[in-house]
Structure 1
Amino acid sequence: MPTGVHIRDARRQLFEAAERVLLRDGPSALTSRSVTTEADCAKGVLHRHFADFDEFLAELVQERIAGVGDLAATLRAAAGTGTVQANLASALTDVLDPTALAMVSLVFFRDEVRARLRGTGVPVLAEAREMLTAYLAEERALGRIAADADVDNVALSLIGAGHLLFAGRRGGPPPAEEVDRLVATVIADVVQRRLL
């Protein structure tokens, strides 16, 4: 693309291009050149909006983290409706989509990005755990799981097991039955003890 041509919402265009490269070719293929080529723009466009490529990647991950916040609001609103198992299975499928898993790989692959995203836990997965913890606390308050349920550790178990189930799959998420079975196994104790 020639210099001087206005790009509408360049940041969005660059982020979408980076996600396509990341999903298609993995974190090792993610370079400023591959992103700008995919976005069909001059390399200078990226550097006009970001101090350097690692800042761009950190903001890409932060945008995904913000999306987890949107999912969290939807999940908390579901407390008290449907079944706890179905709500959790749906949330895991949404939060552990291929793009989110690719972002986790990117954070592990690039030390500088990880350093810029200082926090506790693995970015994206840590926020997903917080999302599930908040939801489970709501369900505990409503009496739909055991009153003494350790919701933080149940959420950690769901995220850890869910990440293992979803990661590395080609062609989409695992079958819904597998996700349901995983969730049922992890929450069985807190659901059964509620009934006692």
Structure 2
Amino acid sequence: MASYYYDTEWGMPVYDERGLFERLVLEGFQSGLSWATVLHKRPAFRKAFADFVPDAVAAFDENDVERLMNNAAIIRNRRKIEAAITNARATVALREEGGLPDLLWSFRPNETPAPRTADEVPSTSTESRAMARALKKAGFTFVGPTTCFALMEAVGMVDTHLLGSHRRGTSGLWNVPEF
């Protein structure tokens, strides 16, 4: 599953609100865990979180929090569950100011990293730190610089595929010389 995700989805541009909200929530749930765990549970997350439709998740209440806490098919962390609901509400409110896609994509850097080895792949950037500050200012929670950088990687905003990787440049957003 992880290989399929890496080969077909990770690093490909995502511009729609629902897709960005899903990635943001899943990156938050991944914090402190392996991405493979999140990917394995992704179908259950989609079912539990109303396919990540922000308006639906924004309407969740304490009964929904308890329902989710009792759902063994997802990661049961109260802070992360509550953050997902808070972030859905912030996503809906953000529409008055252009929306989540406009806010997130405003942090696309002018250059993308060009790592030759896994040790050279960054976990934060100036832009991810600024994105985290902007999201927190807009009412989002559980969105630190590392989570924001992982989101940036997942949605193709930065390309951290290693130089020489068969996936390097596949997003179509970066024309980076190989060597």
TM superposition score category, shorter chain reference: under 0.3
TM-score normalised by length of structure 1: 0.24
Looking at CA atoms only, which structure, 1 or 2, has the larger radius of gyration?
1
The structure with higher relative contact order (CA 8 Å, sep 6+) is 2
- The structure with the greater share of residues assigned to helix is 1
